[in-house]
Each structure stands twice: as C-alpha cells, then as structure tokens.
Amino acid sequence: MCTSRIVSRIFQIAFVSIAFISCKKESAILKKQKAEIVLSAARLSSDKISLVKDTVYVLAENLQINANQELTIEAGTLIKVKNQVSVHINSGGKLVAIGTKDAPIVLTSDAVKGTAGRSPNYWSGLVIDGPAETKLTYVRIEFAGGGFTPSLLLRNIDNTAILNNIQVSYSFARTSFEFSGGNCNAFNLLSFASANTDFKLSNGYTGKLQNLLAYRLPYFAGGIGLREALAALLLQGITTFPSISNFSVIGPDLQPGISTNYIPPNAGFGSFPATSLLVSNDAKFHIRNAVLAGFPKGGFYISSAKSGISLQIGESDFTNSFVHSNDSSRAFYIPANLIPLVPPVTAKDFKVFMLQPQYHNQLILNTSELQLTDPYNYDHDPNPSPKQGSPLLSGANFEVPVFNDPFFKRVNYRGAIGEDNWLLGWTNFIPLQTDYNN
C-alpha cells in the first residue's frame, strides 16, 4: 500500500508538472513578441512621424501625410491596419519606407490569422500623390484594396521616386498596383493572389518598369468592384505609353477550383475580358522579354482600334516574348467589333501578325514548356522560378533605343525571374497562415 501511494503521488506530481509546463508554454505562445500600440491622432498629426521595428503599430484611423509632413518607416517594422482604413501621402508629403531583404516593412490587416482575406477584413490601401518625395523598397502590402482604392496607388509620381521590391498580396476589390499618370520607374514588383487586375497603367503613365510578376490563384478572382477587366496587366488611356521589360504572368492554368470569373462570358461580371495583357482606350506600349501564361481564355488582348493600329504601324511594339492561353485561339485576340477598324482584321490574322519572325515571339501550347520549378504549390512554398534548362533563362534582348536606357538592367532571362531570384528572403506567399506578432 505504501509503495502504491508513493507511485500514485509520483504520477500526481508528474501530471501537475506537465500541466504547469504546458501552461507556461501556452502563455509564451499567446504573449505578444513585441509591444503593440495604437497610433494616436496626436502622433499622426506630427510634422515628422517615425515608426520603428521594435514596436508593432496598429492603425485605427486614416493616416494623411500632408505637405511638409514626413513619414519614415524603419526596416523590419510591422504595421497592422484596421478595416477600411487608408494611408494617404498627399502632394508635397514625404514617405521614406526602406526595408531590406532580411527585414522587409509589412503593412497588413489587423484581423486575426485566418480571417484576413475575407470580407470585410480588408483595409483600403496606400495612396501616394505626386509630387511627393517617395522611397519605397522591400515593402509588403497585404489584404488591402477593400474600398475604392487600389492596394498601392501611385498617382502622378515622377522619376525621382525610388520604387523597388514591393509585394502586394490579396488585393480584394481593387487593383494591386496602379500607376496613374506620371513617369516614375520601378522594378521587382510582385502582385500575388489578386482578386482584381494586378497592374493597371493609366491616365498618361509613361514610366519604365522591369521585373513585374503577376502571380494568380485559381480560386481567388473577381473581387467586388471589378467593372472593366480581370487582367494581369491593363494599359488604359490615349496618352499612356509605358516601356516594360521582363514581365511575367502566371495565371490559374485550369488548376483545381478555378473561378468561373476567369472564363468568359462570366469573366469580370459579364462580357469583360479575362486576359494576361489587355490594351484599351488607345494606349500605346513598348513591351519585350515577357511571358504571358495561364489565363484560360486570353493572352494578348487588344480592345482599342487606335491601339491596334499603333501596333500595326510600329509605334507600339510587343517583341521577344512567350504567349500562352489554355485556348490557343485566344492567345492573340481582337474582339469582333474591332474587325472593320483594325488591320490585321481578325483574331487569326492578329496571331499570324504577332508571330512574324522579326518580332521573335513564341506561342506556348502548354505551360509545362516553360519549366517552372513548383508554381502551383499554393498552400506551402510555391516556387515560380524557372528550372535549369528552361527556355526562359536565355534569349532576352535590349537592342533597341528605348531599352538601351540605363534604367534597364541587361539580363539574359525572359520573364520576371532568372537564375538570381529576387523573390527570395523578403516575400511571403502564405500571409493567410502567418501569425503577425503572436
């Protein structure tokens, strides 16, 4: 009996010890890693606002940076934004947000893990109005575009701005990136899992862009507010005339769970196109070293007669690129209403025209030909980079005056990513699974 009591007591002590240790572990897990503070109205009205990495900030009201105000965000800073709240840098304001590869700046939803990305858990986005002094590098913007604002709107920004290594993820009702007017230049831009258009260039934007990746999920498309198109790249407006090299689209490619919004006539609420590249409203363009892949019913789509004529006469150009649609008859597409207006006069002729040898474009019948590493592993660690031996790793060409500009880095690869993968270290493909500061 005495021995039995001793054994019983040992088990009781062990159980209590295990429970105590478990509670300590649970407390440690639930405890915030860093202090969180709600940004007060008084602090937001200061002439100089500095946010540092040792504190996590909760933004509960709209932040307006006005002329002669400055917002500086330190590398590694986390900002959690309440629903429908926006950040607006007005003309004459200054934004300096310089993260690093190892310590990116993150602006994300304040919603708890697993609930961001569902309506209404979206904030409104970051708007920068020029002229404004802007430095934005190694920054992630997640779960924005929930109101009437793109996740990142750059409006009339000039080429003194520094814009590179920016990821926008899960833009809900509006475009991920919108360049509206201005001539700012940018490189290494990633739009991931957008429900709307990935990159919209409009209202006379004339800047230079390199290394743009529109990386889409099959089951997340057609957010509220989509009224014009579901496009990876939308060019819009008579004075819009960008120069773009190394642009990649990785579309849904008929993966399981694909949204009907990708497949006309349902695409974009009715007859709106769903396509990798849409040129509309008389826009012009220089595009080369691009990869358009994975949209079921659209590759390169022109919906404007003047844009089509501009391409025909050589004012615009699309060269040295790979084009794919799951329906190969729509890889190069022009709608029936433009047939009387634009030479080449049919979608078939447009395809023949764009595949002429002097343009060095290639039609891809299956995305497997691109030899991407692991692009459809959406829930874990997707890898959209090309494998060794991929045709994307060679063949880039910059031998025309527009692309001889010093802005463009002369690389060998076509598409957004080469052997030196700029996505590594600072991007996040699983923000829905990420506990921020917990």
Reported as half-sphere exposure (CB side, CA atoms, 13 A), residue 247 has a value of 26
Strand partners, 50: 72
- Per-residue model confidence (pLDDT) at position 19: 37
> Does residue 425 form part of some domain?
yes
With CA atoms as reference, report the closest residue to 283 among 195, 173, 160, 179.
179
| Ordered mean pLDDT values, 10 residues apiece, the chain (438 residues) | 36 33 36 81 88 96 94 97 95 97 97 83 94 95 90 97 98 94 98 95 98 95 68 96 98 93 63 89 97 96 91 95 96 79 67 94 97 93 94 97 96 96 96 88
On whether residue 438 sits in a domain, the answer given is no
Number of domains, the chain: 1
Say what the pLDDT of residue 268 is. 43
Q: Are strands 383-386 and 372-374 parallel, antiparallel or unpaired?
A: antiparallel
The answer to whether the beta carbons of residues 361 and 355 sit under 8 Å apart is yes
Burial pattern 268-296, b for ≥16 Cβ within 10 A else e, equals beeebbbbbbbbbbbbbbbbbbbbbbbbb
Per-residue model confidence (pLDDT) at position 166 = 98
Residue 317 covered by a domain: yes
Closest CA to 209 of 419, 403, 422, 414: 403
Instruction: Indicate whether 279 belongs to any domain.
Output: yes
* pTM assigned to the model: 0.90
Q: Has residue 8 been placed in a domain?
A: no
103 within some domain: yes
Residue 307 lies in a domain: yes
> What is the predicted pLDDT for the residue at 342?
60
Q: Give the separation between CA 57 and CA 81, rounded to whole angstroms.
A: 8
pLDDT at 391: 98
334: Cβ contacts below 8 Å, ≥ 6 apart: 301, 302, 303, 308, 342, 344, 346, 347, 350
Question: Domain range holding 62?
Answer: 46-433
Domain-embedded: residue 18: no
pLDDT score, position 336? 75
pLDDT at 227: 60
